[in-house]
Amino acid sequence: MPYIPDVRQNTGSFVQQTPVFDVSRIYEVNVNSDEFKELIVTLAQQINNISIVLNNKESGYFLTEEFVTSALFYNPASSNQLELIPEFRLTINIGSLGAGVTTVAHGLPITASWKFVDIYGTANDSIGFNYYPLPFSSAVGATNIELRVNGTNVIITNNSGINFTSCNVVLEYIKS
C-alpha cells in the first residue's frame, strides 16, 4: 500500500530550496560526535522529504503506451479510504478525423474491475484553423462531437462539419 502523506501538511508538495543546515559543517564536525550524528539525521530527513514530494508529483507524460501517472485514487473495491491505487494514462493518436464515426482500437485489456476517470482529447484543423476540445458540445446540438470508449475501441462521432487534420485522445483509468 502506498504511503499516504498528511495532506494538510503537504498541500502543494514543495521542497524548500534554502538549505536546512550548513553543508560546510560536514568538514568541521568530528565524525564520532553527537553533532555529526544529528547532521546525518537532518540530511536523511531532508532526503526523505524530497522523496515524498517527488513521489507525490504527477508525471506529465502523454505517451502512446500505458503509463503510470503517479496520481493515486481511492480504491473503489475497498472500504479503507487510505488504500490507494495508481492511475494509468494512454494517449491515442487518432490521425485525421473526418465527418461521421471514427473508430480506433485502444489495445487495452479492459476488465470489469477497470474504471475510467477521464476521457478527453483535441481535434485540430491546421488548414481551417479550427481547434476543438473532445468531447465538444455545441449550442446547436446537431454539431456536437461525441467521444466514448468501449471494451476495444475509442469511438468519435464528428457532427461538426469539419474535417480535422489531426486528433489525439487521452484515456486515464484505474485497475482495481
Considering the domain architecture, whether residues 80 and 160 belong to the same structural domain is answered as: yes
Q: Over the chain, what is the mean pLDDT?
A: 87
2 pLDDT above the threshold of 60? no
Average pLDDT over residues 111-121: 96
Considering the domain architecture, whether residues 20 and 82 belong to the same structural domain is answered as: no
What pairing do the DSSP bridges indicate for beta strands 100-105 and 114-125?
Answer: unpaired
Q: Is residue 61 part of a domain?
A: no
Residues 6 or more apart whose CB falls under 8 angstroms from that of 111 comprise: 175
Average pLDDT over residues 48-76: 85
143 pLDDT above the threshold of 60? yes
Residue type (1 letter), 33: S
* pLDDT score at 20: 63
Question: Residue 154, class by beta-carbon neighbours within 10 Å (0-12 exposed, 13-18 middle, 19+ buried)?
Answer: buried
* pLDDT score at 43: 83
Considering the domain architecture, whether residues 84 and 169 belong to the same structural domain is answered as: yes
Q: Is residue 92 part of a domain?
A: yes
Q: Is residue 62 part of a domain?
A: no
Average pLDDT over residues 44-63: 82
Considering the domain architecture, whether residues 17 and 72 belong to the same structural domain is answered as: no
69 pLDDT above the threshold of 50? yes
Q: Is residue 41 part of a domain?
A: yes
Q: Quickly tell me which residue has 503506451 as its cell.
A: 65
Q: Which of 5-14, 87-96, 141-150, 167-176 has the lowest mean pLDDT?
A: 5-14
Q: Is residue 47 part of a domain?
A: yes
Considering the domain architecture, whether residues 159 and 89 belong to the same structural domain is answered as: yes
Considering the domain architecture, whether residues 103 and 166 belong to the same structural domain is answered as: yes
138 pLDDT above the threshold of 70? yes
d(CA 125, CA 4): 43
Rounded to 5 degrees, what are φ and ψ at 55?
-70, -20
Average pLDDT over residues 149-157: 97
Buried b (16+ CB within 10 A) or exposed e, 64-80: eeebebbbbeebeeeee
Q: Is residue 30 part of a domain?
A: yes
Residue 138 structural domain: 67-175
